[in-house]
Structure 1
Amino acid sequence: MSTLFYRRFNLVWPAIHSVREIIHHYLKQMKISNDDIDNTGLVLTEYLSNLIRHSEGEDGVMTLVIDNINGGVSLTIIDNTQFFEELAKSDKTQREEVINDGVLREGGMGLALINHYFPSYHYFKKGEQNHFCLTLYSSSDRTKVVLIEDELATLKLIENYLSEAYDVYAFDCEYKAQSFLSKHEVDLLLIDLNLNQMIATKFIEQINRYQHLSNIGIIVMSVDSAIETIKETVSVGIDDYVVKPLKKRVYFVNL
C-alpha cells in the first residue's frame, strides 16, 4: 500500500468542495467507476457536513488520506470532533434498525446513506481521533466474487485464497452484502449456509429478484453434509454445494 495524498483541512464549508475535487481527480486516475465516484462524492459531502456541524468553528480540522491498495483505493477521513462520541451514545439496537431498514436518510448522522452506498465502510476511534474509511475498487476484467461468511477467521482465509485471481468483496454481515449486491454486477456469490440473521436459502431468494444478477453463479458452503440439507439448499437454484473445511488446492484453483 502506498499513500497517494495526505493533507489536513480546516473544518469549514469550502473544504467540502476542495475535498470532492481532490477525490474525483484521484479516483479517475485509479479507474474507479463513474457510479462509485458519484456515490463517494454524495457520501463524503454528507459526512463532512456532519463533521463541520460537530466541530468548534475554525479550530476543527480533518485529514484526508488516499492510499493506493491492491485492486483499488482506500479513502480515510481522520478528525478529532465529537462525532464518534455522539454515535457511541446512541442506542445500538436502534442504530442497527436504522442502518438496515433500507430507507435513505440525509442529515443527522447520515448512517443509512453511508451504509446504502458503501456497506463495507469502517468507522472507529484510534487514540483521540476518529477514522472513517471507504474502499473502492478499480474497474477490472477479473471475475467479481462476493463472499459472505460470519466466522471472521474463515472469511479472511477464503478471501486470501481468492484474491490472487479474483476481485473479492468480503462481508461478515448479510445485510451489508445484500446492499452491495443490489447496486453492483457480480459474477459469483460464495455464501455460508447459516448466517447471523438468516439462512442462505432465504438470502438467495431475495437477491434472485435483482435483474442485474440474473446470471450470477451461486455456491453454498456448509459443515452440514446431510443429504436432506443439500437437497433443500439446491432447490432454491444454486450451482454447487461444498462441505467445509475447504482446501485451497481442491476448491479455489479453478473456481
Structure 2
Amino acid sequence: MDILFERRFELLWPTLTEIRQVLKHVLGALSVKRDEADAAGLVATEYLTNLIRHNQGDEHVIMLRISQTNTDTYHLTFVDELKPYNLFKKNDSSWTIESHELVEGGMGVELIRHYFADATYETIASKNYFSFPLINIDKRPSIIYVDDDVVQLALMSAYLQDKFQVITCENIEAGWQAILTSDASILLLDHQLKKGTCEPLLEKLNKSNLKSQLSVVMLTGDDSEEVISKINRLGVDDYLIKPVKKNKLLQSIERVTHRFAYLSYQSTFGLTPSKVLLANNKTAHIFGSIAVGNGGDFFMPINDEGTAFILGDMMGHGLQALKESFAIKGFISGFLATGLAYQDMLVALNNALYKQQLCKSSLVTLVICFLENNKLYWLNAGHPPPVIIDKDGKISQLKGTGPLLGLSNDHQYTLYEAELENIEHILLYTDGWTDNRFTDKDEMAELKTIIPTQSNSAEDFAHSLWKNSQVTLSKEIDDASLIIIN
C-alpha cells in the first residue's frame, strides 16, 4: 500500500474546514470523481463532528491518510489515539437517508453506509482507524469546451473523450459556471459564436484569480492579423485555425498543459482562534475561511476590550484573494494605531480604494461591529447585514448596508444600531456562506431550514449550525465564513 498523502491535524473545530479543503484539492488532483469526492467530504464532516464533540476540551491530534491499494482504488483513513468510539456500534437513531431531515447526531452510520458500504472502524495497538475505499476514479483530466454549434460539440467530444473528461457548454455563461465548479485544467473555446465571441468570457477570467489554474486554447476560423493579435492580447496559451485535425488538437493541448503537471497543496497561513471572547459576556464562534486563514475572507479584533471587530471579504477566493486581503488588513492596522474613530478609518480606506492606492484589481466588502450598552452597532460597506435570532427562535435580517468601498470619494457611512435585549444569537457572514448554498433562493427562508432546533449550549448551537450549512465540496465556489455571537 502506497501512502499518497499524510498529515496530522489538531482535533479542533477549525480543522474541520481545513480537512474539507485538503480533500477538495487532493481528491481532485487524484482524479476521484466529483460525486465520490463530495461523498467523502460529507462523511468526513459527519465523522469528525462526532469525534470533536466526544473529545471537546482535550488536546488531541488526528491524522488524515490517503493511500493507494491498487491502480483502481484509494483508501481514505483517519487515525487517532483517542478512547475508541466505534460509530457503527453506538448508533441508536432511527434516522434514514430518505427522510432528508437534519438530525443533531445519529445520522452518522446511515449516512456513511449509504455512501461507503465498506467503511470500517477498528482499534489496533491503541490506535483507531476509520477508513473507506474510493473506487470511482477517472484519471482523464477534465477539459471545458465552449461552442454553440452542437455538431462541433459532438465532434470535438469524440476527438477528446479517450484522453479527457469533456464538459461541453453551449454558451459563455455555462462556460463560466463550469470554470467555477469543475476541476478542469484546460479551457477550449470557439472564438466566434452565433451571438458574439468568447472574448467576454476570457476578459472575465483574466480579471479573476482563476486564470492561473487553466490552460486556454482558442479555435478560430479567421486567421487575420487583427483577430490573432486580439486573441493573443487576451492571454490564450495557444490558438488553432479551423478546421482542426485531431492530432493537431491533442498536440496543442499537451503542449500547453505541461505547466500543470504537478499537484501542490500547502497550508501555511495563521489560524484565527475558533472562539473570541467579547464584551457583555458574549462569545464570537469563528468558522470557515477566516478560521483557517487561506482565502480572501478576514476577521480582525480591533480593540483590547473585546467590543469591536471587522469581518471582510475580498472579491474572488484562494491565494490571490488572500494576498489582496493583506493590503487591506495592513491599512486598517496602521490607521487604528492613530487612535482615530472607526468612521474616520472607513472614510480613509474608501478614499484609498477610490484613488486606487491599494487593491487595484479587486473589490472588498466589510462590516465593522462593536458592542456597547447591550446594543450592536455596525458600519457596513457593501456587506450582508447581521442576522439575528431572538429568544423565541424568530429569524430576521437587520437593515443597514452602505455602498462598496471605492465607488465614491465623498460617501459618509452610516452608523447602524440594534437592541440586543431579546436576542439569542447574532450571525455575521461573507457572501460565500450563502452563495455556495442558497444561490437564487430566499436566503432567510433557506436559513430557517438549517437552524438547529435542539442544542445543549450556545457553543453547541454554533457548531451545529455550521455543520448543517456545509455543502458538497464541488459547490464550494467561494470562500465562506461565519461568525456566530451568543
- The TM tier, using the shorter chain, reads 0.3 to 0.5
Task: Please give the TM-score of this superposition, normalised by the length of structure 1.
Answer: 0.47
Task: Please give the TM-score of this superposition, normalised by the length of structure 2.
Answer: 0.26
Rg larger for: 2
State the structure with bigger RCO (CA 8 A, min sep 6), 1 or 2.
Answer: 1
